[in-house]
Amino acid sequence: MTQPLGAELFDADRLTLVEAPAPRLSAEDRRSMDEVWEAAVRANPTLFDGPVVGCTGLEHDEPHGIVLTWVRATYRYYALRRTAGATVRLPSLFAAVAQPSDDGRLLVGRMAPWTTSPGRWQLPGGAVEPPPEGEMLTESDLREHAARELAEEAGIEIRGDRLTLWQVTRGDNGSVGVLYKAPSQPAAWLRDRFDALTTSERALGHAPELDRIALVRSPADLEGLAGPHVPYLRLVLSRHARRAGPAQG
């Protein structure tokens, strides 16, 4: 297994989700967390302290199974990562989609300037929200969440049951991403769907979450994109390029 640029990537054909108790914070950690969060909101008023899932453990269930331990939290808890001396640092759990084009490339999007990661390239996706109290979080929930993110960010609507569990990534901060693969689509159609989405969003006075998309085949293609990219993206493209074989044409 290779782990360049602060990320790991694991094959996954089976995913088990186990809930654990929410993290317990000391009074000092909670006070520091609130201070950092309030400062972040003043800098970016679009931040919202809604419910979110944290990921506190990743274990292998051979040959290609992954067991993830998750907890209920809110976005405020992520401020602990920027709090010096904090005894709790909650990793996130996100779901994303690798959308191939019919010529073997993958769709990536650039986060808009108003988002928490402006200018960053990544697969369409986002943080996972917890189910209602007393209900379990399932792999099907993650699959449906990934499908919603693909529709909301790239304008590509697909049923969750057509997505295939593909890879699991873990960053050097412990955050975990569950990556799905969608059926391939014509490259022109993918661009048309994104253009239609952004035109509609702007007509309603909304700022799209992705301000640009690109189709990339290998890590070398990332050099042509202006701005940073998430650490897992180079690994995903390396594995995709190896399995897709040489470019046709």
**Rounded Cα distance, 237 and 169, in Å:** 13
């009074």: which residue's tokens? 27
Is the CATH code 1.10.150.130 the one for domain 4-242?
no
Quickly count: other Cβ atoms within 10 Å of residue 111's Cβ: 21
Interatomic CA distance for residues 221 and 216, integer angstroms: 6
pTM for this one? 0.92
pLDDT at 1: 33
Going from the C-alpha of 7 to that of each of 34, 47, 58, the distances in angstroms are: 29, 26, 14
Cα 61 from Cα 119, distance rounded (Å): 36
Instruction: Give the pLDDT of the chain (249 residues) as one tens digit per residue.
Output: 333 457 999 999 999 999 999 889 999 999 999 999 999 999 888 888 999 999 999 999 988 899 999 999 999 998 888 888 888 889 999 999 999 999 999 999 999 998 888 999 999 999 999 999 999 999 999 999 999 999 999 999 999 999 999 999 999 889 999 999 999 999 999 999 999 999 999 999 999 999 999 999 999 999 999 999 999 999 999 999 887 655 544
